Structure 1
């Protein structure tokens, strides 16, 4: 079980520490524990409670009313609110609660409802990606454990695979080869790129995680793609990334290479002429639009 300071609760819930202390004193909302050295701390149940309370309070529920609700009543009100609310922040908040509780059924329902309302692409751009950024904060503070992170990542991955399978390639588009370098396992952005590319009528050859260099070269020679795309988050390391980029450029000189990910975006690197850095996922959308414009001009 994780432990949190009141500053952790403030960061994760958006409720100021001063306000949390007032709620604690006036409404007995929280019951902090103490270490052997008398330092106050909060546990997982406190975090889940405050996340739910923050969501209700942001949507007009008075704290005095929330304080007298049972745990089941608070949860039911949160579920009802997120089912009818269209704000992205509320949906992200709901997904965060699902993740902490590892509630697969509820997580799936929140995602499915948003996909029906605003479409898969907008759900990814406006809800899933901001939610994943929040996961990064939760990870850094120790608020989630590896099991919770894997739980959520796999659910999102499943949704992406289903969405990709629903797209049918029609002749006439460009050919994209998508892969992750050896030892690179962060696949969600690459999967979403595959969905966007395939949705816009292009052919996708998807190799996925941890692609050996020689296997990549073999597939490249077989398919001769117009574009290669990869996401570099952790591997290669910062010490080896320039060498890796230069190797890609040289080996696949006849194709345009699209790069994104933590190890390349905003880094002090030199990019050969056939290499283009995509700063954000929306940059992929813009680039695909440019390809379409060129295609129409021809």
Structure 2
């Protein structure tokens, strides 16, 4: 069974590099920068070598190199130039491309090497916000366009998850400094997007608060139990696929009426399934945020 994707269409190259297929064809015809293979029906396809070369050329081009100049370089000089010009301006694109190559090849070593190189210059917080979030957004689009398979997405997401768990544990070793409130993080039944909630758990702990991470598929009754144990709770949740849009409002009102009631506790929410009621629900203790950064700023 072949586990590594080794053949790419020109549309795959467009999705992975951000360079339009039409432009890639012009670069090929005019400058011979890639060496496509062809099917019996004359359809272009590309190997890993060509993908890697295009990603490197894209970085050089974005950095100001002309394609006409790049095309005159020996093939072995291009990755050397990429390494030489990596700076604050280009490190983001270079790292994202490296992580994409790690994902395509299921290459854990490349992921770890790229991550450790970033860590020598940036904090984990900067890496997550500047690199991992844009990467995950790109991966979502790549999956939707069938450039990658779900296995690729699971592979890279779980490697990011490992780093998130390690860094969260480091900050949670310290005794919380701010004890006036407790953050309880949970996902409703059937909600699957846990990575964002886990990052919020890291940020909350980093900011000196006590957090209780319940995780995914939390029944409503469990939230009631927590409310009996602690006072002044901030419940935090994502609603991306569950509850469904038509059920979100009822779910929120149920938390308000049966759990928060007239206490000083609050409910903080993110996720696309809250967007359509962002202006509709205006109740004390209910707060909806449009982004991770907007919520983090509130801490």
In the other structure, the counterpart of 2:298 is: 287
Inter-partner Cα distance in structure 2 for 1:2 and 1:187: 30
Aligned residue in 2 for 1:293: none
- Normalised TM-score (structure 2): 0.83
Which of 103, 107, 122 is matched with 1:103 structurally?
107
Aligned to 2:266: 256
Query: How many Å apart are 1:7 and its aligned residue?
Result: 4.3
User: Could you tell me how far apart the structure 2 residues matched to 1:42 and 1:239 are?
Assistant: 44
Pairing of 1:225-244 with structure 2 (within 5 A): 225-244=232-251
1:29 maps onto 2:34 in alignment: yes
Instruction: Choose which of 155, 161, 177 in structure 1 pairs with 2:159.
Output: 155
d(CA) in 2 for partners of 1:149, 1:143? 11
Aligned with residue 287 of structure 2, among 271, 276, 279: 276
Superposed CA offset, 1:235-277 (max 9, x none): 1122322221111222222311000012113556632332111
Match of 1:198 in 2: 205
Partner in structure 2 of residue 292 of structure 1: none
Distance 1:210 1:52, change over 3 A: farther
Matched, 1:129 2:136: no
CA positional deviation for 1:166: 0.8
* Alpha-carbon spacing, 1:140–1:244, altered in 2? closer, same or farther (3 Å): same
Task: Say which is worse superposed, 143-152 or 219-228, in terms of deviation.
Answer: 219-228
1:169 aligns with 2:175: yes
Q: Distance in 2 between matches of 1:144 and 1:245?
A: 35
How far apart, CA to CA, are the structure 2 residues paired with 1:2 and 1:64?
24
Conserved in 2, the CA contact under 8 Å of 1:4 and 1:42?
Answer: yes
Distance in 1 separating the partners of 2:277 and 2:35: 43
- Answer whether contact 2:187 2:237 (CA < 8 A) is retained: yes
Which residue of structure 2 lines up, in the alignment, with residue 224 of structure 1?
231
Q: Is the 8 A contact 2:268 2:287 kept in 1?
A: yes
Shift of 1:32: 4.3
Q: CA deviation at 1:210?
A: 1.5
**Which residues of structure 1 form unaligned runs of 5+?**
289-298
User: Take 1:76 and 1:247, find their aligned partners in 2: how far apart are those partners?
Assistant: 59
What CA distance in whole angstroms lies between the structure 1 residues aligned with 2:286 and 2:165?
27
TM-score normalized by structure 1?
Answer: 0.83
Displacement of 1:209: 1.4
Unaligned runs of 5+ in 2: none
CA shift in 2, pair 1:47/1:133, >3 Å: same
Residues 187 and 225 from structure 1, CA distance in 2 versus in 1: closer, same or farther, beyond 3 angstroms?
Answer: farther
Q: CA RMSD in A?
A: 2.7
| Structure 1 residue 77 displacement after superposition | 6.1
Conserved in 1, the CA contact under 8 Å of 2:186 and 2:218? yes
- 1:210 maps to which of 211, 217, 228: 217
The CA deviation at 1:81 is 5.2
Count of equivalent residues: 281
Partner Cα distance (1:156, 1:283) in 2 = 22
